[in-house]
Structure 1
């Protein structure tokens, strides 16, 4: 798709409220990753709960993967830039997430799943984002779908910016997934040197993560693997990214739920009682 993109889509870009460096950690059976969005930011970036970046050429950093573990109360979106990972879960879903693809899983009332690399060498790189579910949907049926790279909606602007629309909509192109309650927008933006990209934004919480090169937003440079929180400025109607060099960035935005968030490990509910019930159900084998 090649929309005839107007030169100006927004009148005023949001500014960068803060840039936060991720911290190195490990998860699963020792997978090394960088945690960019932590529990401390869950209220500020509601409805998003967590964002991990992973990327290594060393199999020791990823080969053990993520053996069986439970989830309840939210959704996971895994974007694989490079590599292969097999998913299996207790709801009967199975699939392989490969280079350029997206895996979207709704844990809902509960699921036990594993994510194990299907490679013994080479690079594995990508992101996993956790998206909260509203209270009314936290105990919904689990759901899962793999979107191979070739099936993800994409377009290129007149100025040569390539955009993959994982969720939401951009310049009239609907993404792979939509969610009415949280209205997530998830774009992968590939900018040539000197290229610019504009995206209108509703009054949603939003952030940008650059993972190649560097971009400028409202006069501020944003470098790679910094979580750039966009200010909620009512006078701004979107965001404008300008690439100093060839760059790639994720733009993520969503409608806040304004509900209590209580997280304990892999369970995210609205109160302590919900957490206790999740733990009890898991121990008693009652997750899906």
Structure 2
């Protein structure tokens, strides 16, 4: 590495190991076939064929618990059906983002219904595991949907017709603020400067990301395209770049459209103790959380089985308050 703005470059196959306040990010991709009448694959499949196939019929992750952190799920292709122990459910799809604060504990499932019976059902998402402060880990679980129709974009076009598009998932880009995050999130406070962007550059397009604070964590993941130049350094496809946070960072796409996941934010600075899907601050707290889960299951599971899905015709929606309130993208 020749650039003073780049600390590390790491090739990625699936998991992006990150730093406080981020825990890690998983980049899931599966090439599911046509769907059958039950929203599973029309051709027989096994779990070994796919990265995300833990249900008996429909791909996905059946009922499982979390506590002490947040999952931020950014869907690039496909559909997700969400159910949780709070009685909430919903369906979201390509371009949508779900932000789930697991707080003091919640069970949920994430199933990936194969909606299309006449064509393949490609699937791609990012799931960011984002830490919570010690106080936020004690709060009730909560979630919020960011619909693709409402996520802010900053689009810049040069005189040559080259476009850059920044989807602002968290924080702000230039003067454009993101939608509000759940209230008990480290990302909800402006002073924590948690900026999450999905960036798309036309072939040969350029973009500069402004500096943040010197104490922040900062990463860029180049996940689609041929090559990308970051801070005068050529970056290969599917590489994670750790960057100096208080530098302006210049990006130049290669001869194909380039897509980048951008993550930055002030660290929480608390100890991290992680055991499976629980993220707390000490082993003692982990032991207590597992005991609490065995005793309470983080609430009664209100759904008919551990891997429910909605009907094929169900539109994108979210429900809150135990299903009392429903929200549809066009009505938000």
| Fold match by TM threshold 0.5 | yes
Q: Which residue of 2 aligns with 1:70?
A: 65
Correspondent of 1:50 among 17, 21, 24: 24
How many Å separate the matches in 2 of 1:82 and 1:92? Answer: 26
Counterpart contact for 1:202–1:238, Cα < 8 Å? no
How many Å separate the matches in 1 of 2:262 and 2:293? Answer: 34
- Give 1:192 deviation, angstroms: 1.1
Structure 1 runs of 4+ aligned residues shifted over 6 Å read: none
More strand by share: 1
Correspondent of 2:239 among 226, 232, 242: 226
User: Which protein shows a greater Rg?
Assistant: 2
User: Which ranges in structure 2 are unaligned for 5 or more consecutive residues?
Assistant: 34-44, 53-57, 182-186, 300-332
- Give 1:202 deviation, angstroms: 2.2
Q: Which residue of 1 aligns with 2:146?
A: 147
How many Å separate the matches in 1 of 2:263 and 2:147? Answer: 20
Q: Which residue of 2 aligns with 1:278?
A: 289
User: Which ranges in structure 1 are unaligned for 5 or more consecutive residues?
Assistant: 1-12, 24-33
Normalising by the residue count of structure 1, what TM-score does the alignment of the two structures yield? 0.84
Q: Which residue of 2 aligns with 1:237?
A: 247
- 1:99-110 pair list within 5 angstroms: 99-110=94-105
Correspondent of 2:112 among 98, 114, 117: 117
How many residue pairs align between the two structures?
257
Counterpart contact for 1:14–1:238, Cα < 8 Å? no
- Give 1:14 deviation, angstroms: 6.6
- Give 1:64 deviation, angstroms: 2.6
How many Å separate the matches in 1 of 2:125 and 2:231? Answer: 27
Q: Which residue of 1 aligns with 2:221?
A: 209
3-state SS of the aligned residue for 1:281?
A: helix
Normalising by the residue count of structure 2, what TM-score does the alignment of the two structures yield? 0.73
Q: Which residue of 1 aligns with 2:15?
A: 35
- Give 1:67 deviation, angstroms: 0.6
1:153-197 per-position Cα deviation (integer Å, ceiling 9, x unaligned): 112013321111011100111112352274321101110122111
How many Å separate the matches in 2 of 1:195 and 1:278? Answer: 48
How many Å separate the matches in 1 of 2:76 and 2:143? Answer: 19
